[in-house]
Chain A
């Protein structure tokens, strides 16, 4: 009978997900939002578990272990007492069964009748998930997120036999909370919008660092703590926003208020504070452990700007930023944590050449048939030719990616050289803020010719800068954000931010052969080994999962062509603008 471990994560109220390990092999992982079509859905991941079992050819009775990526009892005790890291809470944890709160274990028991249940410390699931998909045999780790059970940052050392947690910040009003608060203060109220602030930051100057610093205490080791006691709940966070307005002198921005220079400056200041604190933490752990490598994980490690700067700074010789280090990968991490514990020091082998761990697109909807485009000759050459002519192509092939980013299996692709493509994609296809930059796919072997790095960024984990020779110097001052955005700063301006940075996904043949073939074809056609890559969804909607969802999204946007499995379709362009807006409104609340 095989050993089947089901990891269930993201149950702190968002990003629920499930992963399955069969005899140590990572068989499946996916987020619940892709099934329920509710972005960041935190409901018990019934659909993801059911699909994981189906895709693995298993039933609930075959699962031998279920491991949850959180200790709910410890979480409840913390929320109740507001006193974290307490010995009494730990003692109660030994007396009271961890399954007692029941909101996870009861629905899990309905699906998985006989398995043994385990509950893992939340940060350790991040660490295990990142370490076992990293290239390192032994490494220090730094995990920062909004909130584990009763802590917001942790650091230590991990190898195959040992996972030693050395230091922790046992409160929730830490660095992650600060970033979330300022994100809300800047008018981005939907959950998980921190990346928008990161994208806004390069438009501004960090002239509010001192004002923001009045909100917290810190020390040379990166021990940031907000002075106000704020909890991760809506009422508490909303009540804290006026404190930021008082400190900066800039009123709280409403979601529909125009974005001004002062908002960009505050975003730049926040990013500066964030990077300063992360650098202090990293120097502290380097001094404390003396390790050569660092794994950076937790939700805050999704800040690929900070990760890119960390890698360039060489405080550690090796750095790995986990692409699934946030809560969407915590089920995978929990399963790996239990696997390593059951293996008792034996190697935990995980194929980490790609996080393409979800389901296939499935059958193409019959209504698409009349719109099929016959392709003569090489399929990739044909699609590359269409892209070079300025066509926007949705690309849905193979197993779905795990995590927040589309990595070339559920992507929208376009030619980064086309003038105005960034605005066209943002406003007519994605229906989102026009300032938001796009990420480039670049052939790994050609990366150093375009960007100042030769190191891989296989899963869009790091930023890098355009090489000097390809930059067009910008004027010292612009009259508006719009003017700065529209300035032709290089030949691929759609994927290079106003500060010449780019959130790279390097495409290596060994990691993603399918996308490598397309990019190579595009390079043959144009001489440029770079494409725009953005997730196949619209603002507020989870990334599409199935072929049917892809077709529906295709009909309601101005995407020109759709690749479904090995077939190409053109857009019927039958929907009126009103019909598209009605469809779009279904997702508006989570935008």
Chain B
């Protein structure tokens, strides 16, 4: 049961991510990728 709940939770997270983010268009797009390296 716990395993099923975990799986459901994971699926919900993935679904949320898919809904929240936009698909990239074909071709070039302007980059907003940061360059700075964060040390840990």
Contact = CB atoms under 8 A, between A and B. Distances in A.
A549 interface: no
Interface string B7-40: 0000000100110111110111111011111111
Most central of B14, B27, B40 by chain A CB within 10 Å = B27
Nearest to A153: B28
B18 A82 contact: yes
A360 interface: no
Contact of A120 (B20, B31, B37): B37
A299 B33 CA distance: 20
Contacts of B33: 121, 154, 165, 168
Interface in A503-540: none
B32 to A, nearest CB: 8
A83 B17 contact: yes
B40 A98 contact: yes
Contacts, number: 92
A116 B40 contact: yes
B17 A118 contact: no
A430 to B, nearest CB: 40
A88 interface: yes
Contacts of A84: 24
A118 B27 CA distance: 30
A65 B39 contact: yes
Given A81-B18, A88-B20, A284 B28 contact: yes
B29 A167 contact: yes
Interface string A139-157: 0000000000000011110
Contacts of B22: 83, 86
A154 B21 contact: no
A581 interface: no
A29 to B, nearest CB: 19
Given A81-B17, A86-B21, A167 B28 contact: yes
A81 B24 contact: no
Contacts of B21: 81, 83, 86-89
Given A83-B21, A171-B24, A156 B40 contact: no
A58 to B, nearest CB: 20
A169 B28 contact: yes
Contacts of B40: 97-99, 116-119
A83 to B, nearest CB: 4
Contact of B26 (A99, A117, A217): A217
Interface string A116-142: 111111001000000000000000000
B21 to A, nearest CB: 3
A167 B36 contact: no
Contact of A225 (B27, B34, B39): B27
By size class, the interface of chain B is 20 to 34
A211 interface: no
B17 to A, nearest CB: 4
Interface in A217-261: 217, 219, 221-223, 225
B26 A118 contact: no
Contacts of A124: 35
A83 B23 contact: yes
A82 B29 CA distance: 17
Contacts of B24: 83-85, 169-171
Contact of A338 (B26, B27, B37): B37
Contacts of B35: 121, 124, 163, 165
Contacts of A156: 31
A77 interface: yes
Contacts of B17: 77, 80-81, 83, 86, 88-89
B38 A118 contact: yes
A200 interface: no
Contacts of B18: 81-83
Interface in A22-71: 65, 67
Contacts of B23: 83
A561 B28 CA distance: 52
Interface string A146-186: 00000001111000000101111111000000000000000
B28 A337 contact: no
Interface in A344-361: none
B25 to A, nearest CB: 8
A345 to B, nearest CB: 13
Contacts of A168: 28-29, 31, 33
A77 B38 CA distance: 18
Contacts of A165: 31, 33, 35
A96 B40 CA distance: 11
Most central of B14, B17, B35, B37 by chain A CB within 10 Å = B37
A341 interface: yes
A116 B39 CA distance: 6
Given A83-B23, A89-B21, A223 B31 contact: no
Contacts of A153: 28
Most central of A81, A82, A119, A171 by chain B CB within 10 Å = A81
* 8 tightest Cβ-Cβ pairs between the two chains A and B: A223-B27, A86-B21, A170-B24, A225-B26, A83-B21, A81-B17, A118-B37, A167-B28
25 contacts: A65-B39, A77-B17, A80-B14, A80-B17, A81-B14, A83-B18, A83-B24, A86-B17, A86-B21, A88-B21, A97-B40, A116-B40, A121-B33, A154-B31, A156-B31, A165-B35, A166-B30, A167-B28, A168-B29, A170-B24, A217-B26, A221-B28, A337-B37, A338-B37, A341-B37
Interface of B: 14, 17-18, 20-24, 26-31, 33-40
Given A65-B39, A86-B22, 12 more contacts: A81-B17, A81-B18, A82-B18, A83-B21, A84-B24, A85-B24, A88-B20, A88-B21, A89-B17, A166-B31, A167-B28, A338-B37
